[in-house]
Amino acid sequence: MQSYTIGQAARLLGVSPDTARRWADAGRVTTHRDENGRRLIDGRDLAAFSVEVGQGDGDDTSYTSARNAFPGIVTAVKLGDVAAQVEIQAGPHRLVSLLTREAVEELGLEVGMRATARVKSTSVHVDVP
């Protein structure tokens, strides 16, 4: 399972590293230390926490880019026989993309991994780093 540093988690949540660190210090999200002593957050824990943050107080925080790219974390993957639904939490934004099961499998999409939703007209394209 992929883990994220406090800085990476902050970027995915659309907050400052100081805010992410305060949340971790307060026990809102669980961290562990790697062999170098860095604090890491498990991808599944971060995915669950990002959903909680995304449903927060609606504080008018803006999280957009000129290229309509929304970097975030995969919070759900629902596979059908042919189609799939992928949810990405990008800061306060929850994006849902419908794509083929084959595309999800080729990208290796799973809950807790980083992904970028790219929006063009009515289509959402998913990239992985």
- pLDDT tens across 11-68, in order? 988 888 888 999 999 999 999 999 999 999 999 999 999 988 877 655 544 444 436 7
Q: What is the pTM of this model?
A: 0.58
Q: Report the mean per-residue pLDDT for the chain.
A: 86
The whole-number pLDDT of residue 58 equals: 53
The whole-number pLDDT of residue 67 equals: 61
Strands (DSSP E) contained in the chain are 3-5, 32-33, 39-42, 69-79, 83-90, 93-100, 114-120, 123-127
